[in-house]
Amino acid sequence: MDIYSEIKKLKGVGPKLEEKLNRCGIFTMLDLLLYFPRDYEFVDGNPNIDDISEELKQIINCKVVSFERDIRTKNGKRLTSIALRYENTKVIAKWFNQPYIKNNFKIGESYNLMGKYKKVGNYLEIVNPTIVFRDASDNEILPVYPLKGDITGGVISKLVNSILCNIVIGENLPEYLLLKYNLVSLDEAIRNIHFPSTKEKLNGAITRLKFQELFTYSVKLLMLKNHLKQGSNGIKFSMCPELTDLKKSLPYELTNAQAKVVREILLDQKSSSPMNRLVQGDVGSGKTVVAFISMFNVYKNGYQVAMMAPTEILASQHFYEAKKLLGKFDIDIELLTGSTTNKEKIRIKEKISSGIPIVVIGTHAIIQEDVNFTNLGLVVTDEQHRFGVEQRSKLINKGKEPDVLVMTATPIPRTLALYLYSDLDVSIIDELPPGRKKIETLFFQSESKYQAYNLALDEISKGRQVYVVCPLIEEDEDGKLNSVDEVYNDLSDGVLKEHKIEKLHGKMAPKDKEDIVNRFKEGHIKALISTTVIEVGVNVPNASVMIIENCERFGLSQLHQLRGRVGRGQYQSYCILVGNAKNNITKKRMMIMTESNDGFYIAEQDLKLRGSGEMFGLRQSGDSGLILADIIEDMKILRCASEEAKIILQSSDVNNVKLITEISKNLSRSSKYICFN
């Protein structure tokens, strides 16, 4: 069996199932093996009666005593009950609308029933238990897979199992590392990550795989760093004379911090090794204009520039801003995103491949395979902690050595930066443009959210504009969270009925989104009811109120980003967090938000509370390739892995060289950090 082959080659995978698996990102058998559980359920087998808990799933071996007669419940469901016995205790198992379930049982026989048991008087009750065909005397550890669409964990388990039954996975770490760090073999690790028989085995598997991810990550990072270090093959740009005119023409003077960072960038541009610079600056510190100035210089040197933003909204905002600020200097600027028409795309791509100087602003689409920059001088990624090793390698593998500028509002603690961005130089914009008023942050329990709406109404009456952010687009089943739809309906019939308000969310067509953002910018729309699509970068200085519904659902850094959408002009602005702060952690988090406006402090707190994977979007984006490892939590493993990576990169042992070649082949592939022999 070849694990690189397509998933449809696996027995039992027809076109329908294939599609479902594809939706989970599973295309090959290897993808499936690397589709790790996101969690595990620890199921106790045959517990003592005293240890029965409603909170936990448990498996109990029960003997059937009698079948009860089916009855109809008040709401019309058909209830089937079976009476059983566990030791000396009576157990009643109940199923709804599954009358055929009785066929699976025989009086006098014993079955392992899994589910949550409840003590009712002197007997146990269980609703909708499943029968498991394993020994209930052991404790079970069941994988919980991250699922998308209507595939079940059971199906995944079965398929994984069918692969594992047919292969032995070759080892790919040198034996001395396994011995030194007491790591289990890759084969054992993969088996136990899916089907751990004990907690110890599970931990062994996790440690081994984390080591592997972090080791591969370190090797890649070091290779990239070495590559960049030796390079004097960067482009030497000169300072173009128009720079002074550009600075003069800006509607404001640069802050000292901005000016300092611009100088640092221009120095990099003059040098013959490629620039790799990270610009950190809190939301609203004015990173965009810094990027524009450096782009301007590269363009005027006769090169091409690509600027990437994480969303289309942000890309088009940068596009218009760039036109406004740079347009008068005769610069060719194009916008290239997913929603650019095909005809336009062809026109722009032709221009790009012709090699003429051009500034292309867009989403990640612009470094895709079929966009052929022939004269690329600078790549800028905005609000982008996700432009990691992988993407940079991709460019280098294309044989390009452009300057790279990464802009981020997420302050990265030093320890972390060392590993995430060890190949980058860092500039910090540690000053906000003058005249900004401190954003006032308030917290309201949901019951009193109309106070927040009234404040919004007041501000609109003064001519300002408002954002309301909700965690969901549509109402969900259990109704616990507020959705854009609900809040929109509520406000447009209620507090804000005299004013033009609109919805904005990711499911809308890009054209509609852009249209709404533009009308909001122009001031025609007074309130935007939105999801977090507006989280990054949207810049409307007239907006003075940010209301965040179900604020307990967001991470602190995300709240800080959202808050950064207001307070961008001369007006006093407000951020109102609405939610349920019933428990202490939530209370503490909200207090951090109401008391601090300092992005660094908040990021640190967030990191403590959530771990780096969540915070930097590493997990979600998959770009880091780290599935199990967390750079903060697993700092210890990372240190070892990083040390070993250094050693192995210098080694001339044949096997080590082979391993490194293997990893480097994958350098440009956004693959997970596990390569198989």
Nearer to Mg ion, 196 or 537 (CB): 537
Min separation Cβ 291 and ligand ADP, Å: 8
The one among 231, 355, 541, 611 contacting ligand ADP by CB under 6 A: 541
Nearer to ligand ADP, 183 or 528 (CB): 528
Q: Judge contact between 63 and 190, C-beta under 8 A.
A: no
Q: Judge contact between 272 and 219, C-beta under 8 A.
A: no
**Is residue 274 involved in binding ligand ADP (CB under 6 A)?**
no
Tokens representing residue 167 in the block = 């292969």
**Is residue 283 involved in binding ligand ADP (CB under 6 A)?**
yes
Q: How many residues bind Mg ion (CB under 5 A)?
A: 1
Give the Cα separation of 433 and 87 in Å (integer).
Answer: 74
Q: Residue number with the shortest CB distance to ligand ADP?
A: 286
Q: How many residues bind ligand ADP (CB under 6 A)?
A: 19
Among Mg ion, ligand ADP, none, the one that 84 touches (CB under a kind-dependent 5 to 8 A) is: none
Interface with ligand ADP in residues 383-412 (CB under 6 A): 409
**Is residue 598 involved in binding ligand ADP (CB under 6 A)?**
no
Taking each helix axis from N to C end, the angle separating 389-397 and 199-230, rounded to the nearest 10 degrees, works out to: 40
Nearer to Mg ion, 259 or 649 (CB): 259
**Is residue 286 involved in binding Mg ion (CB under 5 A)?**
no
**Is residue 564 involved in binding Mg ion (CB under 5 A)?**
no
Min separation Cβ 412 and ligand ADP, Å: 15
**Is residue 259 involved in binding ligand ADP (CB under 6 A)?**
no
Nearer to ligand ADP, 208 or 521 (CB): 521
Residues 6+ apart with CB under 8 A from 473: 483, 484, 485, 505, 506, 507, 531
**Is residue 284 involved in binding ligand ADP (CB under 6 A)?**
yes
Tokens representing residue 115 in the block = 């589910």
Min separation Cβ 556 and ligand ADP, Å: 17
**Is residue 288 involved in binding ligand ADP (CB under 6 A)?**
yes
Determine the 3-state secondary structure of 28 from DSSP.
Answer: strand
Tokens representing residue 457 in the block = 């109404």
Min separation Cβ 359 and ligand ADP, Å: 16
Nearer to ligand ADP, 37 or 281 (CB): 281
Convert 338-380 into a string of H (helix), E (strand) and C (coil).
CCCCHHHHHHHHHHHHHCCCCEEEECHHHHCCCCCCCCEEEEE
CA angle 209, 364, 390 (to 5 degrees): 30
The one among 196, 281, 310, 537 contacting Mg ion by CB under 5 A: 537
Min separation Cβ 624 and Mg ion, Å: 22
Q: Sketch the per residue contact string, 349 through 388, with ligand ADP: x for CB under 6 A, - otherwise.
A: ----------------------------------------
The one among 24, 178, 254, 660 contacting ligand ADP by CB under 6 A: 254
Tokens representing residue 557 in the block = 């850094």
CB atoms within 10 A of CB 178: 16
Q: Judge contact between 354 and 372, C-beta under 8 A.
A: no
Give the Cα separation of 300 and 358 in Å (integer).
Answer: 10
**Is residue 551 involved in binding ligand ADP (CB under 6 A)?**
no
**Is residue 523 involved in binding ligand ADP (CB under 6 A)?**
no
Q: Which stretch binds ligand ADP (CB under 6 A): 252-260, 521-529, 552-560, 665-673?
A: 252-260
Q: Which stretch binds Mg ion (CB under 5 A): 140-148, 273-281, 485-493, 529-537?
A: 529-537
Among ligand ADP, Mg ion, none, the one that 176 touches (CB under a kind-dependent 5 to 8 A) is: none
Which residue blocks in 567-634 are alpha helix, DSSP H? 584-595, 599-610, 612-615, 618-621
**Is residue 258 involved in binding ligand ADP (CB under 6 A)?**
yes
**Is residue 617 involved in binding Mg ion (CB under 5 A)?**
no
Which residue blocks in 153-252 are alpha helix, DSSP H? 153-164, 175-180, 186-194, 199-230, 242-249
Give the Cα separation of 35 and 600 in Å (integer).
Answer: 34
Q: Between the CA of residue 460 and those of 110, 493, 540, what are the distances in Å?
A: 69, 16, 14
Amino acid at site 150? D
The one among 255, 301, 393, 483 contacting ligand ADP by CB under 6 A: 255
**Is residue 294 involved in binding ligand ADP (CB under 6 A)?**
no
Q: Residue number with the shortest CB distance to Mg ion?
A: 537
The one among 45, 129, 274, 286 contacting ligand ADP by CB under 6 A: 286
Q: Check the CA dihedral 378-383-389-395 and report its sign.
A: negative
Convert 470-494 into a string of H (helix), E (strand) and C (coil).
CCECCCCCCCCCCEHHHHHHHHHHC
Nearer to ligand ADP, 385 or 503 (CB): 385
Nearer to Mg ion, 436 or 500 (CB): 436
Residues 6+ apart with CB under 8 A from 669: none
Residues of this chain that interact with Mg ion (CB under 5 A) are 537
Binding residues (CB under 6 A) for ligand ADP: these are 252-255, 258, 281, 283-289, 409, 433, 537, 539, 541, 568
